[in-house]
Structure 1
Amino acid sequence: MDKTEETDMDFGLKDKVIFIAGASRGIGYGIAESLLGEGAKVALTARGAEALAETKAEFAKRFGSDRVWSFAGDLTQTAPIEEALAKCEAEFGPITGAVANVGLSPSPLGLDVSDDEWQAGLDQNLNSAFRLARGAIPRMAKNGGGSFLFISSIAGLGALGTPLDYGATKAAVNHLSTSVARFAFDTKVRVNTIAPGNIIFAGNNWEKQSTGPRAENWWRWIKREVPMKRFGTPQEIGDTAAFLLSERASFINGAVIAVDGGQTR
């Protein structure tokens, strides 16, 4: 093709309904923004009703109120997940894509992790992902297939000094994803995982550390550990997600893709 005839790649997501668990800020926000930019209809869910309402209003203003739908609730638990999925399909349309992106649960470094902190980490990072997959994939199969996406972390690919429950649960998500992909192969639902590296956005730990009293040390660490010598952005995760959720990624199934500037060795 002559270069003058080249056009932007069309991911074929126009009017597709994509359900995102954990979409009001950060990576979930970036995924929603990329999908909306590709013409998808996005179901936004999060625990915090106020932040979710603000995000929905912003996206409605930018992309149209008919492109966004929202549900506020605890998307780590089965009942709210099933309620959200059912309402989404009844009020917004049949789901053909879903993203498990419920946020992390804070806990201390080392072995001094209480039972409650450990359980919270399991619910936030692993149980929420399994419960959404269990609820969404059969619905998507009935709708003719689609793509399910887990959001993990490079902390699940190696021991990086993160809290134990975080690394362990993200490693479990990676295994869950590759296993579900095998079980789901006959449903026409592809299952993949993005393992983000150091992603910076307003209010998160990386922003605080990169501008705080030890900022110079953290920037030195980034430049040493990340070949691209910078942080990643939610948009870069969002664009990767849009590709994996589209039929352009039709032969990618059971993959765990690190989006980390080359940090993972």
Structure 2
Amino acid sequence: MVTGDGTKGYAPDAPYDRVISTASVRTIPAAWIGQTRPGGVLVVPWGSDYGDDALTRLVVAEDGSASGRCGADLAFMRLRSQRRDFLEPSADQIGTAATTRTAHGGRELFEMVTFTRASFTIGLRVPFCYLTVEDVTDDRRLVELHDVRTRSWARVTLIRGQTPWTVHQLGPRRLWDEADTAYSWWRKAGEPTPNRFGPTVTPDGTHTVWLDTRPDFTGTPTPAPQLAPYAPPAPSGAATHPPTPPPPRQEPQLTPLRPHRPVGAPGARPSDNTRHPHRRRSEAPKTPR
């Protein structure tokens, strides 16, 4: 048995024919690919922060890249170095949030948080977005999206028998709008299941996700959303000038992150465990009402 940082692999006995990870990853460590011989196989629970992972089988090529297709839904503990936390804005901060309404019903919300439906696709198209679902009462449920990197947050409050539902959003990203756009893309793309996607990782660590294409990219890879504002081209014959940047958005500072507490740890609240789909599979999101 060898103990240490698993992301570094174990070079003394490399190259390996097979590498199997029992911890899930958002990005596949370069050492795992580099220490696998050409033609060798990696089996990795891989996915986004948005929902459960997919059991992914990748084959290493002669050029040092690795490519493969996603498979079954599963939930493993995330590598420590790739875990994310969530934001908890105060009631006063939520009171200053941008507020909209969603016309989605229970069916659409169910699809947006269910692995075999749209959640895997949404996670691929909305990077760094962490989904949590919490039942407050039998008639009230909170669906929240978090990006601790940009300190952006969104909440949809689901109340039985009341639609449309209220959406609150804070931070430079409008996470619910991005997730809603990704859901629409999933519907227009024919509602692809996770096993139609696959990642390719180049030797420099670049991850590209493709849909229904072979690893040689004969088709169209799924692009990441463009977060930068779009500047329309100047009219023909008009002088071009750098666009005037918009004034900075005045956003409240969100509450500092609360550290992870392991299941059953002293001082852990029930929501510390139930809000995180990655922590315990038995507490995965339920069907929205």
Q: TM-score, normalised by structure 2?
A: 0.22
Q: Which has the higher helix share?
A: 1
Q: Which has the higher strand share?
A: 2
Report which of the two structures shows the higher radius of gyration computed on alpha carbons.
2
